[in-house]
Amino acid sequence: RMSRRAQQLRDHDTNPCVVETDASRKCMDDNNYNKDMCTAYFLKYRNCRKFWHDVMMQRKRNGVKPEMPSAEERRKMLDSMG
- pLDDT tens digits for range 14-45: 889 999 999 999 999 999 999 999 999 999 99
Q: What is residue 72's predicted lDDT score, i.e. its pLDDT?
A: 93
Q: What is residue 4's predicted lDDT score, i.e. its pLDDT?
A: 84
- pLDDT tens digits for range 43-82: 999 999 999 999 999 999 999 999 999 999 999 999 999 8
Contact status, residue 7 vs residue 31, Cβ threshold 8 Å: no
